[in-house]
Amino acid sequence: MSAVEFRNIDIVFGADQKGALRLIDEGRTRDEILKATGAVLGAAGVSLSIERGEICVLMGLSGSGKSTILRAINRLNEVARGAVLVEHKGAMIDVARCDEATLRDIRMNTVSMVFQQFGLLPWRTVRDNVGFGLELRGTPAAERRRIVDEKLAMVGLTNWAEKYTNELSGGMQQRVGLARAFATDADILLMDEPFSALDPLIRDKLQDELLDLQRRIHKTIVFVSHDLDEALKLGNKIAIMEGGRIVQAGTAEDILLRPANAYVAEFVKHMNPLNVLRGTAVMRPAASLPRQGDQVVLDKSGRVKVTVDAQGRPIALDLDGRVGRLATADGEAGRIDDRLAFEADCIVAPVDLKLRAAIELKRHTDLPILLVDNLGCLAGLCDDDEIYRGLLRRLDG
């Protein structure tokens, strides 16, 4: 079930909304609309559904409309047309049309936000900043204190509770912002380029911390970023925007391997595929490998064959008549015992093995890698050729 859903929304800044909407329907560009009506197109025809517990990254250059649609989720931006549905107390509420009381309830309880420039109140201590949302909600002081302490511990700022926010470094300030957003226990978290104002090392650290937190708290996170590395690292789903429109939405692999148009292709051109691509994307699928009875042929000359059982699990290796050894590597990082690898003739690894891990395994052992799915069935083969094609992103040929 989706937690947030944009249904064909248009956002226009300026007085002449009607005129602008008419031009949007005619498919005009942002510049043409600005010239004709004086109104600025914020977003046009955006439809996107964000599932519960997912991190969805809205991605694009500045001015592409990513922040604009993010702000429509809690109505910091008004929507000219279309619906923004948010799951609130078990029902889907159209934020664009709901009354003030419902909107306030949603802002206090369901949706919270983290800002690029932190948006902290400098006259308040860290503690009072974190408790801000609770204070607006009217939570009694004792309970507020308990929750704030809990959230401060979560972001590692317990010893800083009584400091003022401008005594903190940028990274710490944004941790306060995160704690403030977590404090209201909202299910949906809006993050408007939260790490863009931080230096790269701190940014990387906070990204890791966010992923770590997400594993425990399972919020629905809508994250705006102009940094593709960040998007690919964090996002279960990525929506790429250009000129107020979504040009492609999908998984990181999808976008990297099948860019929808030249704009997206340009965007991902200089991307490092090592951390994004997984075995599934680069492997030669088991179905396309030649079979001889219950044996699957692995090399071109037909001398290396793997025997699979009735369920499709690899059970034995046949090296031109000689019995070979299989060794298993664990997890998406592809960890393997050194001695085991030394004696083996072929590696068996999970299919969601990352390309980086596959290369590491290959370098370490110089053995072909068999990929198996989570039931242990043979899913495909990943050898030099597959890895090179993955690096070059030439997977179709």
Partner 1 sequence: MYDWLTEHKIPLGIWLRDFVDLLTTHGQSVFDFISLVLGGLIGGFTAALLWVPPLLLIAIFALVAWLVHRSVGLVVFILGALLLVTNLGYWQATMETLSLVFCATFVCVVVGVPIGIAAAHRPWLYTGIRPILDLMQTIPTFVYLIPTLVLFGLGAVPGLISTVIFSIPAPIRLTHLGISSVPPALYEAGKAFGATKTQLLFKVELPHALPTIMAGITQCIMLSLSMVVIAALVGADGLGKPVVRALNSVNIAMGFEAGLAIVVLAIVLDRVCKRPERRSRKG
Q: Which of 23, 72, 190, 283 binds partner 1 (CB under 8 A)?
A: 190
- Alpha-carbon distance 257 to 262, whole Å? 13
Told to check if 104 binds partner 1 by CB under 8 A, we report: yes
Residue selected from 16, 135, 227, 253 as contacting partner 1 according to rule CB under 8 A? 135
Is residue 237 near partner 1 by the rule CB under 8 A?
no
Strand ordering across the sheet containing 188-192: 111-114, 188-192, 220-225, 55-59, 237-242, 245-250
The distance of closest approach from Cβ of residue 1 to partner 1 in the complex, given in angstroms and rounded to an integer, is: 24
Candidates 9, 21, 95, 120; binder of partner 1 (CB under 8 A) is 120
Q: Which of 34, 92, 98, 108 binds partner 1 (CB under 8 A)?
A: 108
CB of 94 or CB of 254, closer to partner 1: 94
Interaction of residue 107 with partner 1, rule CB under 8 A: yes
- Helical H runs in the chain? 17-25, 30-37, 66-73, 100-109, 126-130, 132-137, 141-154, 170-183, 200-217, 228-234, 252-257, 262-269, 279-282, 338-343, 355-365, 384-392
The single-letter code of the amino acid at 164 is: Y
Our finding on whether 136 is near partner 1 (CB under 8 A) is: yes
**C-alpha pair distances (Å), 332 with each of 250, 337, 357, 373, 379:** 21, 15, 7, 12, 15
Residues 6+ apart with CB under 8 A from 186: 109, 110, 111, 112, 219
164: contact with partner 1 by CB under 8 A:
yes
Of 117, 196, 272, 275, which one interacts with partner 1 (CB under 8 A)? Answer: 117
Q: Which stretch binds partner 1 (CB under 8 A): 5-13, 159-167, 281-289, 364-372?
A: 159-167
Q: Per rule CB under 8 A, is residue 13 in the interface with partner 1?
A: no
Q: For the sheet with 326-328, list strands across it.
A: 284-285, 378-382, 369-372, 346-350, 326-328
Nearer to partner 1 among residue 60 and residue 133 (C-beta): 133
With binding defined as CB under 8 A, does residue 265 bind partner 1? no
Whose Cβ is closer to partner 1: residue 2's or residue 117's?
117
| Residue 175 binding partner 1, by CB under 8 A | no
Pick from 2, 40, 63, 115 the residue near partner 1 by CB under 8 A: 115
Can you read off the two tokens belonging to residue 67? 């922040």
* Three-point CA angle 167, 172, 173, nearest 5°: 70
State the residues that interact with partner 1 by CB under 8 A.
74, 76, 104-109, 111-113, 115, 117-121, 123-124, 132-133, 135-137, 164, 166-167, 180, 184, 190
